[in-house]
Chains A and B, each alone.
Chain A
Amino acid sequence: MARKPRVKSGRNVEQATTGVLTGRVWQFGDDVDTDAIIPGRFLTLYDPRELAKHAFEGTRDDFAGGAEEGDIIVAGRNFGCGSSREHAPLALKGAGIRVIVAVSFARIFYRNAINSGMLPLVCAVAGDIRDGRIAELDLEGGILTVEGKRYELEPVPAFLREIVDAGGLVEYARGLSEVTTCREAMM
């Protein structure tokens, strides 16, 4: 009898869409790829906490041991480029990260983050925010405050809001027995 793979249940996908979050800024700069977030040799792991132990291994070794619940990843352009591995947002989630603020996100990572119950937020000047500072994030107001400076965040696009509000794609999909496709919507 084969064992199931080590996939942690997706129950309790908490979606941090309201309230105020305070945490340390982890600044990563431009073009952070998913191989950096979680190297290929750890892809047989699926438990976010196990993956978190290897997050940024070899590229930023102080992260896995130092990141705490509520910390915020801040980055420049193209965060999460490369492989479609969902292990990447899961590894960050396992490390306690709920929110990533970046100048821009790679497409697949952005969707994966939303689906995994994380909040990827776009901020045109996120690259200016300094590493190690304490940030306060007002989720409803969409404002990130670091060192007294207020950074405006773009809201999650409306069509993804439905998924975010449900608590992630699993929660969104669980209650549905079928979806209306664009083909049927017309008929």
Chain B
Amino acid sequence: MGATIVEKIFSRGCRREVATGEVVMAPVDAAMIHDITGPLAIQKFREMDGKRVFDPGKVIMLFDHQVPADSIPAAQNHIFMRMFAEEQGIRNLDLTEGVCHQVVEERGLAAPGEIVVGADSHTCMYGATGAFATGIGSTDMGFVLKFGALYFRVPGTIRVEVNGTFPNRVGPKDLILSIAGDIGADGATYKALEFTGETMEGMGMAGRMTCCNMAVEMGAKAGIVPPDRITWAYLRGRRRMEPFELAADPDAAYLEERSYDASDLAPQVAVPHNVDHVVDVGEVAGTRVDQVFIGSCTNGRFEDLKEVAEVLGKRKFSDGLRVIIIPASRAEYLKALRAGYIERFVEAGALVEAPCCGPCMGGAFGLLGPGEVSLSTSNRNFKGRQGSADAKVYLASPATAAATAITGEITDPREV
């Protein structure tokens, strides 16, 4: 029996054949902490009698949840982490670069075949560059900081095959929402999702990141796109690594195989308060919104902002609506700025903020009051996620968000 891509990655890490279900203490190639989960991870590292981190070059530190510091406790956490970075010789990327997952990808810090952990559930995004990447808690991270390794149960894989060409104004976010609706919020718990098929092969890195980012919304331990020409082209100049072959064997044993057709997909919306409660946009069209948030690790990239700019055209955003746009990183911000999108967004009435998690964090800014409704390009619509527990959050694509921001009510992007 052949091996899945996940089994191959663990076999690579362990330098022996490893199969699904095995529990291994695997060395990690990189470990990421941010300003919310990092302080506790450092504290746990110390409680474990950690003195020096396993390899300062492999520890990535980024501030993105509460930046610039929105409170004195947040500022104290930043100071504490900066001191740790200095003491340990960790190159701290600090608060200037953007949302942690975007920056890890941009810097080429998660490459094909690597095992990467992050103290954040959306770490699974790095599967877009062919890494096995998974989110862990702060105590597990304390362990990783000390030993450079962690227990893993090698997960079985669900193969997700996507074929067909996206219709106009339908894209990767609609696809992954539709898949989440089908698999369910716990349908992939303890498992990995491998995204394949001609649609994935033709998809750019931004879309692959959107898909892998949301693997955790189905409970998955990791999402991964087999590295190909597009992956290696993205990594050129970001990471010194000779391209190599990494793919599942044709006779690999999957837990399940599912196939989807992108060509008949309508824009999708996840309605409150579950990510797997997904409907065609038509079913909720006309719902009044108070805020539209375009950004996050899921959909804050240049390609997303380009889509928004295209839908917007020369129009203005709806009066009285709060439109918050946050590029995912400094690099994405600059690209959008140079393309003229930022100026267009500001002219149209948006609040464009510096790269950070923004309202998706549910604590820094952009919070919703009781009874308010938001449509967001981020990844979670749980009760209270973006502020009041009496508020509602709808999740959709950048195109749907743009159309909604123009009209002030949930709108099919094909109709504006």
In the bound assembly, the distance between CA atoms of A114 and B394 in angstroms comes to 33
Tell me if B77 is interfacial: C-beta within 8 Å of chain A: yes
- Do A84 and B362 touch (CB < 8 A)? no
Q: What does the 1/0 interface line of B119-150 toward A look like (CB < 8 Å)?
A: 11100000000000001111110110011010
- Do A173 and B146 touch (CB < 8 A)? yes
Selecting from A30-38, A66-74, A139-147, the interface stretch reads A30-38
- Do B140 and A182 touch (CB < 8 A)? no
Q: Across the interface, which residues of A come within 8 angstroms of B80, CB to CB?
A: 2-5
Instruction: Find residues 41-61 in chain A having any chain B CB closer than 8 Å to their own CB.
Output: 41-46, 57-59
Q: Across the interface, which residues of A come within 8 angstroms of B361, CB to CB?
A: 40
A11, A45, A178: which contacts B147 (Cβ < 8 A)? A178
Instruction: Find residues 33-90 in chain B having any chain A CB closer than 8 Å to their own CB.
Output: 36-37, 39-40, 43-44, 47-49, 65-66, 71, 73-74, 76-77, 79-80, 83
Tell me if B416 is interfacial: C-beta within 8 Å of chain A: no
Known contacts A115-B137, A186-B14; A170/B186 CB under 8 A: no
Tell me if B153 is interfacial: C-beta within 8 Å of chain A: yes
Tell me if B382 is interfacial: C-beta within 8 Å of chain A: yes
- Do B149 and A31 touch (CB < 8 A)? no
Closest to B277 in A: A31
In the bound assembly, the distance between CA atoms of A104 and B135 in angstroms comes to 18
- Do B137 and A86 touch (CB < 8 A)? yes
Tell me if B16 is interfacial: C-beta within 8 Å of chain A: yes
- Do A108 and B121 touch (CB < 8 A)? yes
Q: Across the interface, which residues of A come within 8 angstroms of B14, CB to CB?
A: 181-183, 186
Instruction: Find residues 95-109 in chain A having any chain B CB closer than 8 Å to their own CB.
Output: 104, 106-108
- Do B139 and A77 touch (CB < 8 A)? no
Q: Across the interface, which residues of A come within 8 angstroms of B77, CB to CB?
A: 5, 44
In the bound assembly, the distance between CA atoms of A11 and B48 in angstroms comes to 10
In the bound assembly, the distance between CA atoms of A65 and B16 in angstroms comes to 52
- Do A40 and B363 touch (CB < 8 A)? yes
B127 to chain A, nearest CB (A): 15
In the bound assembly, the distance between CA atoms of A183 and B16 in angstroms comes to 8
Tell me if A10 is interfacial: C-beta within 8 Å of chain B: yes
B23 to chain A, nearest CB (A): 4
- Do A39 and B121 touch (CB < 8 A)? no
Known contacts A3-B76, A35-B383, A182-B14; A86/B37 CB under 8 A: yes
A84, A85, A173, A179: which contacts B142 (Cβ < 8 A)? A173
Tell me if B18 is interfacial: C-beta within 8 Å of chain A: yes
Tell me if B108 is interfacial: C-beta within 8 Å of chain A: no
Tell me if A82 is interfacial: C-beta within 8 Å of chain B: yes
In the bound assembly, the distance between CA atoms of A172 and B382 in angstroms comes to 34
- Do A107 and B189 touch (CB < 8 A)? yes
Q: Across the interface, which residues of B come within 8 angstroms of A185, CB to CB?
A: 25
6 A–B pairs (Cβ distance < 8 Å), ordered by A: A31-B186, A40-B385, A58-B384, A59-B384, A116-B139, A186-B14
A residues apposed to B, CB below 8 Å? 2-7, 9-11, 31, 33, 35-36, 39-46, 57-59, 77-78, 81-87, 104, 106-108, 111-112, 115-116, 159, 168-170, 173-174, 176, 178-183, 185-186
B residues apposed to A, CB below 8 Å? 10, 13-16, 18, 23-27, 36-37, 39-40, 43-44, 47-49, 65-66, 71, 73-74, 76-77, 79-80, 83, 119-121, 135-140, 142-143, 146-147, 149, 151, 153, 185-186, 189-190, 219, 221, 274, 361-363, 367, 380, 382-385, 388-390
10 smallest A-B Cβ distances: which pairs? A58-B389, A40-B362, A44-B73, A182-B14, A112-B137, A2-B79, A115-B139, A78-B186, A41-B363, A40-B363
